[in-house]
Structure 1
Amino acid sequence: MKNSYAKAILAFSLIALAPRANAQQDVGNLFVSGPEDATKLVNAYLDPLYKGFGQGLNDGWTNTAKSKGFLKFEVRVSTSAAFVPQSSRTYDVNTLGLSNIKPALGSSSIGPTAFGKDEDGGRMEVYTSDGIPTGRFFNLPRGIGFHAVPSPQIQATLGLPKNIDISLRAMPKINFGDDFGSMSMIGVGAKIELLPLILGETDRLIPVDIALAGGFTQYKYNLDLHIDNTSDKNQRIDARFNGVNFDAIVSKKIMFFTPFASIGYQTAKTNLKALGTYSFATSPVTSVSYVDPVSVKQTDIDGIRGSLGFQLKFGFFKFYGSYTQAKYSMVNAGLGFGIGE
C-alpha cells in the first residue's frame, strides 16, 4: 500500500511544478479511490513526460563522426524537444481497469495527459470496494497546454590520442525556489573514429567518417512538499532520471557543412523517492497516514533510434541541428565554440 501511495504523491508533485490551487485536493481525492486506481491514473497522466524526458537525456551528444584532434576542445549548449503524438495527449479511464472510479453520470471518461490540453478532464465519482457511491467527485487533472517535452544539454568535449574524444555534461545544482525545487545534471560520453583505427591515416579509401559513440546522463531533481499544508513534516521528493545510449555514426564534411546519420540503442529509467510523513482525509472524520514511502523505479525508454542532422562551422563557432525518430520524434538544436577539428 505504501508503494502505491508513494507513486501517486510523487507523480502529482512532479507535474505540479507550476502549482495550481486545487492540486493537493486532487491528490487527496485520488487517494480516497484506493492506491491501485490512483497509480493507474497517475501512470496514464504522466506517460508522455517520462518518455519524452527519457529520450531527451540521450540526445545531442554529437553531430559528426569525426573525432577531435588531440587536446582540441569544444563547448556546446543545446536543447531537445520530444513531440508528444496526438495519441499520447489524452487517456480514457474506461481502459485503465479502475476498480473504484467511474465517470460521473453524463461526464466524459477522457482526460488530458500532462502534455495535453490545459483544461479539466472528465468528472469522476469515487465508489467503495463494494460498489457504493461515496459522494466524492473530482475532475481529472489538466495538461500544461503544449505538446513538446524539453531537455537541455550543456557539454564540453576534449580530443584524446587514437582518434578518441570524451565529453562531459554538467550543470551545478540550480535552485528554482520553494515551489519549483532544484535540479542538477551530470553525464559522460565517448566517441571513437573507426576508419583511422582500421585503415590508418595515410590512405582514405572511404570518403566518409564513421564512429561509435556512447553516453550516460543523469538529472537529479529535489522538491520540498507541503501536501497537507504543513511545513514541519520534512516532506520532499528525491528523483533521478538516467539515460544511456550507444550509436553508430556516419558523416561527411563538405567545406563548412557536415551532414550526419546515426542509428543506435537507448534506454532511460526513473528512480523516485518520497520522504517524510503524509496524511490524507478519507472522510470528514477519518484519515490515512504513512512515513517515508519506498522507492519507485521504472524503465521509460528501451529501444532503437535513428537520427539525421548537420553541423555548420564558422571559425570558432558551430551550429547544430538534428531530427531523431524513436518512441517519440524529436529535434535538437544548439551552438558551440572551440579550437580545432
Structure 2
Amino acid sequence: MKYLFLTGILFFSVAGFSQANVNELFAAGINDAEKFSDSYFGPVSEGAIYSLSNGWYNSADSKPLGGFEISIIGNMTSFKNKEDKKTFVLNTADYENLQFVDGSTSKAVSTALGDLEGIDVFVEGEVLGITTREEFELPTGLASENINFIPTAFLQLSVGLIKGMEVKARFLPKIDTEDVALGLYGVGLQYDFSKLLPADKILPIALSAVAGYTHLNASYDFTDSNIVDGSDQQIEVDMNVLTVQAVASTKLPVINFYGAIGYVSGKSTTDVLGTYQVQSGPFQETYVDPFSLTRKASGVSGTLGAKLKLGFFRLHADYSLAEFNNLTVGINFGFR
C-alpha cells in the first residue's frame, strides 16, 4: 500500500511539475496562457492514457467458476526517446503577446516531459502611456530531473464466472494530502473463446478477448508565483481510458507466455481552477477558473509477456509497444 501511495503522488506530480512557472504565462494574457498550457501538458495526458490502458491480463486462460486472483499492478510508461513528446515548437506568430528575449520567432521549447531549460520570454505593452515589459522563463519538464517515465499503480481483482467469462475490477484507494488528491477505478471483462472447443482441456493454448475501462480523477494545488498572485489555484484531471485486446497464451503448469494486440482510446480533461491575479507587466488582469484543456489519444498496441506460477503466488511481466511503450509488472495471489 505504501508503494501505491508513493506512486500516486509521483504520477500526479507529473501534471503539477513546474506549474508555478506555467501560471506566469497569465502575464501574457488568457489566450496565450491557454495555448501554451495545452501544448505543455498535452503529452503528459497522452502518456497517462496509454499507461492506464495496461495491466488488464496476464493470461488468455480465463479462470473457472469461483477462481480468483488479487494483484498489485505497476506500470512504467516510457518517454525517454520520444523527442516529439518532450518538446514542441513555439511560434510567436501564433501568440498574441509572447516573444522570445533572444529575438527568435520560433524555437523548440519543453513540454512537461522535456528537459529544455533557460528559455526566456517577455511580454510588452503600454500602461498609462508608459511602455512596460515583463520577462520570465518558460518551464522545463520531468526529463530535466532525470525522470523519463510516467508511473501508475493499482490493486486489481479477477473472478471467474461460467463458460469462460472472467470479470475484473481495479482501484487505487483515495490518496488525499495537503496538495494532492488522486484515485482511480476500473472494470473489465475477459472471455475465453477456447473454452467453447471440445478439446479445450488438451489444447496447449488459450484465446481470449479482453475489454477494460479505467477512470482516474485527481487534483493538484500549487504555489503562487511572484508574477501571478491569487487563491485556490489548482488543476483537476478527469481521465477515461478504454482498451480492447485479443490475447493468446500457453497453458502450462509453471511458466507461461502470452501476447496480445489491441486498441487503446482515451480522453483527458484538465480544468485550471482558482483566481489568477496578474500583478506585474502590461496585462494586469484577474482571471477566475480560466480554462479547461481536453486531450484525446488512441492507437494500436502490441504486448508480449510471461507469467510464473508457484501455487497461490504468481508473478508476471510484459512489455507493450504503442505510441508510448510500457512495462507492466504484477504480483498476484490467487486460486483456480
Tell me the TM-score range normalised by the shorter chain: 0.7 to 0.9
Q: SS where residue 44 of structure 2 aligns?
A: helix
Partners of 1:60 and 1:153 within 8 A in 2: no
1:289 is aligned to 286
Indicate whether 1:32 and 2:27 are aligned.
yes
For 2:42 and 2:218, locate their aligned partners in 1 and report how far apart those are by CA, in whole Å. Answer: 18
For 1:212 and 1:236, locate their aligned partners in 2 and report how far apart those are by CA, in whole Å. Answer: 40
For 2:276 and 2:200, locate their aligned partners in 1 and report how far apart those are by CA, in whole Å. Answer: 68
Q: How does 1:309-324 map to 2 (within 5 A)?
A: 309-324=305-320
Indicate whether 1:190 and 2:189 are aligned.
yes
Match of 1:327 among 320, 323, 326: 323
Deviation for aligned residue 1:234: 4.7
Match of 1:200 among 198, 205, 213: 198
Deviation for aligned residue 1:37: 2.5
Partners of 2:15 and 2:41 within 8 A in 1: no
Deviation for aligned residue 1:41: 1.9
Q: SS where residue 218 of structure 1 aligns?
A: strand
Partners of 2:34 and 2:291 within 8 A in 1: no
- 1:78 corresponds to which letter in structure 2? I
Partners of 1:228 and 1:278 within 8 A in 2: no
1:6 is aligned to none
2:58 is aligned to 63
Cα deviation, 1:63-94, whole Å, max 9, x if unaligned, reads: 11000111111111121111111332223323
1:7 is aligned to none
For residues 152 and 15 of structure 1, do their structure 2 counterparts lie closer, same or farther at Cα, with a shift above 3 Å needed? closer
For residues 232 and 112 of structure 1, do their structure 2 counterparts lie closer, same or farther at Cα, with a shift above 3 Å needed? closer
2:7 is aligned to none
Indicate whether 1:269 and 2:277 are aligned.
no
For 1:255 and 1:297, locate their aligned partners in 2 and report how far apart those are by CA, in whole Å. Answer: 46
Partners of 2:319 and 2:326 within 8 A in 1: yes
1:256 is aligned to 254
For residues 248 and 133 of structure 1, do their structure 2 counterparts lie closer, same or farther at Cα, with a shift above 3 Å needed? farther
2:108 is aligned to 110
1:212 is aligned to 209
Partners of 2:230 and 2:274 within 8 A in 1: no
For 1:95 and 1:280, locate their aligned partners in 2 and report how far apart those are by CA, in whole Å. Answer: 21
Deviation for aligned residue 1:314: 1.1
Cα deviation, 1:202-246, whole Å, max 9, x if unaligned, reads: 675x54200001001111112345647999955544321111000
For 2:200 and 2:15, locate their aligned partners in 1 and report how far apart those are by CA, in whole Å. Answer: 58
For 2:15 and 2:131, locate their aligned partners in 1 and report how far apart those are by CA, in whole Å. Answer: 29
1:178 is aligned to 178
1:44 is aligned to 39
Deviation for aligned residue 1:155: 0.3
Deviation for aligned residue 1:323: 0.9
1:8 is aligned to none
Q: SS where residue 316 of structure 2 aligns?
A: strand
Deviation for aligned residue 1:311: 0.9
Partners of 1:80 and 1:332 within 8 A in 2: yes
More strand by share: 2
For 2:288 and 2:59, locate their aligned partners in 1 and report how far apart those are by CA, in whole Å. Answer: 50
For residues 336 and 97 of structure 1, do their structure 2 counterparts lie closer, same or farther at Cα, with a shift above 3 Å needed? same
Partners of 1:126 and 1:133 within 8 A in 2: no
For 2:20 and 2:224, locate their aligned partners in 1 and report how far apart those are by CA, in whole Å. Answer: 6
For residues 106 and 237 of structure 1, do their structure 2 counterparts lie closer, same or farther at Cα, with a shift above 3 Å needed? closer
Indicate whether 1:222 and 2:223 are aligned.
no
**Equivalenced residues, count:** 315
Deviation for aligned residue 1:288: 1.8
Deviation for aligned residue 1:313: 0.7
For residues 310 and 94 of structure 1, do their structure 2 counterparts lie closer, same or farther at Cα, with a shift above 3 Å needed? same
- 2:39 corresponds to which letter in structure 1? A
Deviation for aligned residue 1:333: 1.0
The runs of 5 or more residues in structure 1 that have no matched partner are: 1-12
1:5 is aligned to none
Deviation for aligned residue 1:305: 1.0
User: What is the TM-score when the length of structure 2 is the normalising length?
Assistant: 0.83
- 2:47 corresponds to which letter in structure 1? G
User: What is the TM-score when the length of structure 1 is the normalising length?
Assistant: 0.82
2:96 is aligned to 99
For 2:93 and 2:132, locate their aligned partners in 1 and report how far apart those are by CA, in whole Å. Answer: 21
Indicate whether 1:306 and 2:307 are aligned.
no
1:159 is aligned to 160
Instruction: Pick which of 60-69 and 32-41 moved more.
Output: 32-41
